[in-house]
Structure 1
Amino acid sequence: MYLFISPGHLPLRSKQIFRSKSVNHTRPHRRLLITSAHRPAWPFVQALRTQLVYSANGRLMRPSATTVNLAERTASHLKRCLYGVYLVTGASGRTGRRVVSGLLAQQKRVRALTRDRERLAEALKDVSVDMVEQEEKGRLDVFVSDLFDISPELFTDVVRIASCTGTSTRPSTSTANSNSQGGSQSVPFTMENKPENVEYVGVKNLVNNAAKQLSGIDERNTIAVLEFTDPSTVSAQWKPVNDVVMGGVSQSIVRAESGGLIFSGNVSTENNGGFASARMLDLDKPMDLGGYDGLILRVKGDGHNYKMIVRCEPKSDGLCHCFTFKTRQGEWTDITMPFKEFNSVRRAKTVDDAPRLNPKHILAFQVMLSKFEYDGELNPTFSPGSFELSIDSINAYVEEPNPGCPRIVHMGSAATTRTLRKDEFEVQIPIVQLSDKIGRILDWKLAGEDAVRVSGIPYCILRATGLNDESEPVGIDNLFFDQGDFLIGNVTRDDMAALIVKAFSSPALTNVTTEVCARADDQELKSLEEQLSDLKLDESEKRKFAPFPYIPTRTSVPQ
């Protein structure tokens, strides 16, 4: 219950109680005022009405407008935010299948793109993944299609992409395990599709479609908690609660305007007052924001510090949870309010041993301008007089699990640029010598990389040196990284797959291209994190050996 006191505790004989009439109405409107010889009139009826509205009896008379249905929206939103889908292209390939296995081992939701469901099942069995079992658990989604016929459903709930598609080749001799840098001198031939389509057209189609989904994902995923588009709903849900409940004379109004909430009025310190607020009526059913990390308010203020108050219990003046935020005169500002940083408060005094804000049980929101902060401390920006705060939106947010990290990791090949830089090398490695014979595969790989770079999606391009299945994995802590496309060596598919999975949580790899091989004895010994922090951001637009983005001319493609 709110505490009612007479203004200034003056002797009763010095007080006057009277009714004021408005001559502008056919039937006089009367307000009961309490005044004294030296104090402003106290609107007693207004104070009484405020008390009634927020009392237990008052709740019985409230309109149904105090219901906000969020459960269905928050459930689907949280599923995407917290358990977003990792899309793996080339999932049936020898590296792609390992990426699927690695992501599943990290409890990720995986969507595997394949042209042949049975082939994928066999491929996953090779890495000890039971496709049907994972589907039944809801952890694996098999999507049968290809990169030339992409439907929007492929990207539903997708938050990250592992691009493991590559041209299928087979050597013309019995060197079935020849690596991607041309360890065999035999001339391989392509299977199923030519390099231009797989390495460039398919990758470009992937990133162009993915950009619509991934570029719109903020580091903080938000959902609207309350809307202010309907003035009648706002009028039913929100009421002014001012210092009149304590004998003060501050006045405020709250209204909807242009899709936002406007809280304005005049705050006075007369009669020992000094606060004005706008408060929601308690919801009929608590709002459940469990799973969210806090609130984001978009506000335009007047330079005052305001309080955002969250109420989790039905008592009108019970425990509440407060967050003070600053405003700038006439400027829109986004205010981030982590739930863990709200103060537990009762009557402007912090309660250290009180329960913390419970986002699963929110009954009401309130915004306040007050002379006081907490525990008797003064609000440093407070000044009596007129005020106005505009609230454009109240959103709940979920922190991005891996902020600043790549959203697409594309597996490329070392030596990709060497056909365009032949004068820099005295001897070319076999894959460069063979590139023209297999449809200029390296040139189209570079074109595919550039399609990723210009997509607008935060990316990482990992160029594998000689891929093989024969060597034992060395682990990603024993890999060696280099830039500039000079590196030669070998790396296992197990290690490349593990690195692709790692890249999704590595900010140092964002918008970076690097070559990778197993560390040799003569290569500098640094930790993985040290090596990643040494990598430089791409500056492809400054390169001199080829235009950016690069698209090979088709007239010179060998027949």
Structure 2
Amino acid sequence: MNCPSSSFCGVSPPVLANPRGEFAASCSTRITQKVHFFGSRSSSQIIYSPTSSHLSRRAVIALAGKKSWDIGRFAKTLFFFNGPPNPLKIVESIMSSITASAPTEAPKKAETSDVVLVTGATGGVGRRVVDVLRKNGVPVRVLVRNAEKARTMLGPDVDLIIGDVTKGDTLDPKYFKGIKKVINAVSVIVGPKEGDTPDRQKYSQGIKFFEPEIKGPSPEMVEYLGMQNLINAVKESVGLSEGKLLFGFKGNLCGKFVWGALDDVVMGGVSESAFQIQPTGSETGEATGLFKGTVSTSNNGGFTSIRTKNFTVPEDLSPYDGVELRVKGDGRRYKLIIRTSYEWDTIGYTASFDTTKGEWQSVRIPFSSLIPVFRARTATDAPPFDASNITALQLMFSKFEYDGKLNPTFAEGVTRPERPGLDLSKQPPAVRMNKELGSILTYKLKGEDLIRESGVPYTIVRPCALTEEPAGADLIFEQGDNITGKISREEVARLCVAALASPSAVGKTFEVKSTVPFSEPFVIDPSNPPPEKDYEVYFKELKDGITGKEALEGTPALV
């Protein structure tokens, strides 16, 4: 199972009529068991200025009437899962399955709490990012070096992590738990050699240029090693773009979870199933999992399933939005059940999904769609689904959906300093003086490459010269690292926040500037402010694979 994908395959036999009045049918499903968690919450990303399982053939036959109960198989099932329930609970389970009634209120929905981490939060862009996020009602955590300065600037109640990106040992991953998105506004400090005025006029490019020098840690420490340290700290919390493989077959890997049959024998039924490995059963001729069995409605039964043993250590899937199964089905409806408790007889968070007969397909199940279910009834008082504490997975074919409703398919059955031919005299100071400034742009590019190669979903924003002007000017977005100009820090902050929620921005690198010339100040009329921008219009025009490095490497940009 892969935290973004899984697969089922199968062929279903015809429905059979039984002359004794019993109903019989069979179905089969093969699933390339591949379950991924997806999203990195699909838009989880770092904004910088996150294999397959198969269910195979499954024959399911439904038979009505009374049958003898196999107590030996019941005992084996309990022994396999190491969770024998109290005998009284067994009787209670059987009785409740017979007398189940619908709930009187809707179950609680799974909740999410996406915290955005802002690094460099006391800087010119960073503090504005925090302000924009707060105005949008987004929970914020900040990474700063100076707690007193941060509380003075951002308020006494600001959620703080004290650390320094240039010092990896100060970035303990446990402090970043719950972080789903990151806006990194950390940057090397460049200031005037001759010092600045009290109001930092020299620093405010566009008012007066100055002879610059690096203040504090070098570009290599901040832009490159700092990025490396930050990625290592947040990677597990933010998640990976390709998802996390939970169970599947990749090369000689047959999955780290142990599956076993869990059928209605635990409540007196006689259905029976098994899970097998087929070495060449997948769509690529590799190994696949085979879920097969017989389902019977005798003795008030009606389900077969396979379930993993409880994980030794719970899986933390909080960085992801859901599970993706890669399946080839038989046209029937199945259930995925995710458990968050080590108890044997407890709530399972459940979603139904339909398969297409004879076709491989990817089935995405968002965590937000999971329904808390206990003994085939929705649990209205269940706690919200906790994706950080996954203890077991289960796949089921059942006569019932939830609350007595029948399963409809259960028929019972940065780049310019090194560019060749570039006229540096016409470039901004940082380009002209890259080496004098500690190779500032070289290390910015190295930092970008780290994040591109990390597997974490990202957006890289390259603003032109930053100013203290208000936001609102018309913007120009470009790719390829060719433009120069200026842009408001406030505008960059808003843009970064907008990129967090935009799938169109994921995996993109771009430059942005305002249309206002450097020599002209930009002001707004408070009585007639400019309209709010729809940044999505810009994001949708961006293309993958364009970074500006193409000019260095002599390779064409992807279009």
TM-score grouping bracket, smaller chain normalisation? 0.5 to 0.7
1:428 maps to amino acid: Q
Q: Does structure 1 residue 187 correspond to structure 2 residue 211? A: yes
1:248 corresponds to:
none
As a proportion of its length, which structure holds more helix?
A: 1
1:305 maps to amino acid: R
Relative to the length of structure 2, the TM-score reads 0.54
Deviation at 1:427?
2.4
Distance 1:89 1:229, change over 3 A: same
Deviation at 1:93?
1.4
Deviation at 1:238?
5.3
Deviation at 1:467?
0.9
SS at 1:120 equivalent = helix
Deviation at 1:420?
3.1
Q: Which moved more, 1:428-437 or 1:483-492?
A: 428-437
2:157 corresponds to:
133
Cα offsets for 1:195-222 (capped at 9, x unmatched): 2222222223322444444344777999
Give runs of aligned pairs for residues 368-517 of structure 1, distance below 5 A.
368=397, 379=409, 417-418=416-417, 420=419, 423=422, 427-469=426-468, 471=469, 473-475=470-472, 478-517=474-513
Q: Does structure 1 residue 168 correspond to structure 2 residue 197? A: no
Q: In structure 2, how many angstroms separate the alpha carbons of the residues matched to 1:105 and 1:484?
A: 33
1:87 corresponds to:
117
* Cα contact 1:87–1:158 (8 A) shared by 2: yes
Q: CA RMSD in A?
A: 5.9
Distance 1:41 1:192, change over 3 A: closer
Matched-pair identity in %: 22
Distance 1:422 1:194, change over 3 A: farther
* Cα contact 1:114–1:145 (8 A) shared by 2: yes
SS at 2:422 equivalent = helix
2:231 corresponds to:
207
1:160 maps to amino acid: K
Give runs of aligned pairs for residues 227-266 of structure 1, distance below 5 A.
239=266, 252-254=271-273, 265-266=293-294
2:131 corresponds to:
101
1:467 maps to amino acid: L
- Which runs of 5 or more structure 1 residues have no equivalent in the other structure? 1-5, 10-39, 48-57, 67-77, 135-139, 243-250, 281-290, 311-320, 348-354, 385-411, 549-559
2:365 corresponds to:
336
SS at 2:149 equivalent = helix
Deviation at 1:504?
0.6
Cα offsets for 1:410-462 (capped at 9, x unmatched): xx8xxx62563552577233343343332232222222222222222221111
Cα offsets for 1:374-394 (capped at 9, x unmatched): 9999859x697xxxxxxxxxx
Relative to the length of structure 1, the TM-score reads 0.54
- Which runs of 5 or more structure 2 residues have no equivalent in the other structure? 1-18, 23-62, 71-85, 95-108, 248-255, 278-288, 307-317, 338-349, 385-393, 521-530
Cα offsets for 1:465-522 (capped at 9, x unmatched): 12122x2x133x8332122323222212111111111111122221212212223399
SS at 1:436 equivalent = coil
Deviation at 1:182?
8.0
Q: Which moved more, 1:299-308 or 1:328-337?
A: 328-337
Q: In structure 2, how many angstroms separate the alpha carbons of the residues matched to 1:265 and 1:499?
A: 54
* Cα contact 2:471–2:491 (8 A) shared by 1: yes
Q: In structure 2, how many angstroms separate the alpha carbons of the residues matched to 1:309 and 1:446?
A: 43
Q: Which moved more, 1:502-511 or 1:198-207?
A: 198-207
The one of the two structures with greater contact order (alpha-carbon pairs below 8 A, sep at least 6) is 2
Give runs of aligned pairs for residues 15-30 of structure 1, distance below 5 A.
none
Distance 1:481 1:212, change over 3 A: same
* Cα contact 2:273–2:305 (8 A) shared by 1: no
1:326 maps to amino acid: T
Cα offsets for 1:42-99 (capped at 9, x unmatched): 646669xxxxxxxxxx995627999xxxxxxxxxxx99x8223322221221211222
* Cα contact 1:86–1:109 (8 A) shared by 2: yes
2:162 corresponds to:
143
2:3 corresponds to:
none
Cα offsets for 1:265-315 (capped at 9, x unmatched): 54689x9x99942499xxxxxxxxxx9x999696988736245499xxxxx
1:326 corresponds to:
355
Q: In structure 2, how many angstroms separate the alpha carbons of the residues matched to 1:118 and 1:371?
A: 59
Cα offsets for 1:226-253 (capped at 9, x unmatched): x99697xx779853676xxxxxxxx522
* Cα contact 1:420–1:545 (8 A) shared by 2: yes
* Cα contact 1:474–1:518 (8 A) shared by 2: no
Distance 1:221 1:84, change over 3 A: farther
* Cα contact 1:464–1:517 (8 A) shared by 2: yes
